[in-house]
Amino acid sequence: MPNSKPLAGKVVLVTGASRGIGYAAAKEAARRGAHVVAVARTVGGLEELDDEIQEMGASTTLVPLDLRDGDAIDRLGAAIFERWGALDGLVGNAGALGTLSPVPHLAPEEFENVFKLNVTANFRLLRSMDLLLRQAEAGRAVFVSSGAAHSARPFWGLYAASKAALEALVKSYAGEMQTSPVKANVFDPGVVRTAMRAKAMPGEDPETLPLPSTVAPKLIDMIAPDFAANGMRYDVKTGKLQAL
């Protein structure tokens, strides 16, 4: 009989946990028995998540935090170390779409803001959580990317560039982890019914799109101790793992 709580006793950090894919991923990790450290700016969404997870009989630590505050990420890492001494799973889901615009028309402030959340915040998470992941029996880190990183369609330059940079960062870190038990990978959820998708495609019927809860199990599979891939990219649309 398969273990119904494969993440029991594990500590899993999920960013962007107040809605969308992050919300669904946090619930899925809790369903599998993990204690979820849920990070987001929206307190109301975190409280709703906490209520749902408690109904499952699982537990959370809510962290209202702007991930563009690198010092706050460092404080979070220190708090996790003091309380648990290790981090079993890191799900870097939070991200920003930015403005869909011709590249020369992008405001420098907008460019910097998107990179702060999509790239720099994930670097700061790796910097702060690296030791904690190494202290775990089987530390796992997975970061949510997008097909835009490879298609780089016209007007999507800002978002595409940020996700391409994220994938390069994760690829390099994964290579550095080759001789450790830590595994780092990227997850491409494809088209999902989220607020970001609605902003990007305002004329699209959301009822035709899959819910975040349909992709969350695959995302949480990638932080399971028995997930042995490293430096890979999982594409939900194709169901394939490919090297970064």
Q: What is the rounded distance in angstroms from the CA atom of residue 221 to the CA atom of residue 17?
A: 17
Active-site option among 23, 159, 173, 234: 159
Per the document, the length of the chain is 244
Residue 159 a catalytic site member: yes
Q: What is the rounded distance in angstroms from the CA atom of residue 66 to the CA atom of residue 54?
A: 24
In 3D, which of 172, 214, 233 has the Cα closest to residue 21?
A: 214
Please report which helix (H) or strand (E) contains residue 35, including its range. strand 35-40
Q: How many CB atoms lie within 10 A of CB 172?
A: 13
Q: What is the rounded distance in angstroms from the CA atom of residue 190 to the CA atom of residue 157?
A: 18
Query: Which residues are within 8 A (CB) of 195 and not within 5 positions of it... i.e. 6 or more apart?
Result: 19, 20
**243 has which bridge partners?**
232
Q: Among all residues, which ones are annotated catalytic?
A: 159
